[in-house]
Amino acid sequence: MKQLFEETKERLIRYAKINTRSDERSETIPSTNRQLDLLYLLKEELEELGLEDVEFNKENAFVTATLPSNIDHSVPTIGWIAHVDTADFNSENVKPQVIENYNGEAITLNEEQNIVMDANMFPNLANYKGETLITTDGTTLLGADDKAGIAEIMTAMHYLMRHPEVPHGKIRVAFGPDEEIGRGADRFDVESFDADFAYTMDGGVVGELQYESFNAAACKVTFKGQNIHPGTAKGLMINAVTLLNQFIQALPQNEVPEMTSDYEGFFHVMEIDGTVDEAHLSMIIRDHDRELFEKRKQLVKTIAEKMNASFEEERISLEMFDQYYNMREIIEQDMSIVNLAATAMKDLNIEPIIEPIRGGTDGSKLSFMGLPTPNIFTGAENMHGRYEFIAVESMVKATQVILEIINQNALL
């Protein structure tokens, strides 16, 4: 227990300090070269641990490795997957802070800038009284999404290397890029990975076990105006910024992330810019139900068509593409891998929380690519921002779940 505690803590802090922020505007793989810093480090560490077949694939920017089976009968090969990139929030000069024996009260993340994580604003903090927390310094994210997942997988592999007496089947490991921008798994080589199923360690609170995700699409909208001097603009000017605003107002106003939960889908305008002459909008569309998902996409197209109908030429153009689909469609065909994880958790006195992801993981794509991949908790909370934190005790539990799943699989 102490070994797992110290190692997961040390690994997360070390990985968190490496800036791996991805960039959706980039067309390279990975989207940012800085992700390579961590990928190459992980390759070296896997080699040092003694895993076999350690490779870095330049085509998809995944590091993979193998822990060979040490038992004399055949069992399914399990894959363990996590992503190196962090979300679109400042990740330069991350300074993790360790708070031992947390007292349950507000945490001053940055005294100089008066940045406080208020226990009233974040009631989930009360769940961690007496535990060891890792937080940010208030100016960056932490990156526990998903460097905690990496730390947990690496610690589990190290444990198995140090304890060859523990029976296990063949294990495959993969660390990859660009999950946060929805395309990390696009070129993943499922065939060469050669696992029967996998788990992403990319969830939140202890107990999360997820096999349902959103259906997801991204949409970029361009508004073309007609700029005329405002003094003589009557009847002539077409303001692209005004068109952008009209488009947003035409969307269902209560179907946004801040007003939805559970299985409710949404439209999420993420970025806008523009002038009178031309404006741009970037948004995402989400729904767990495939039919409702298609209706949401059609609504966006219909709004653009109706607006265009009021002009002699097209003023609003769309670029829309699907990002991933609800992995439930694949995984529910064989729930044994979900049941395996749930049983492992229960044997560790962890109550499984089986709820849909209000987002997606690499497993959303991998499942449709032929590798069924549910998602398991890492312990991270308040992800993607300055108030992100994680309890080391939660990371230990996640590591124990990995080991218990491997143990139960070896007994099949």
Could you list the residues known to form a binding site for Zn(2+), using ranges.
Answer: 83, 145, 180, 202, 384
Q: Is 85 a catalytic residue?
A: yes
Is 179 tagged catalytic?
A: yes
In order of 5, 9, 252, 324, the CA distances from 2 in angstroms are 5, 11, 51, 39
Catalytic residue among 179, 208, 388, 404: 179
Binding residues: 83, 145, 180, 202, 384
- Given the residues 7, 85, 212, 362, the one annotated as active site: 85
Catalytic residues: 85, 179
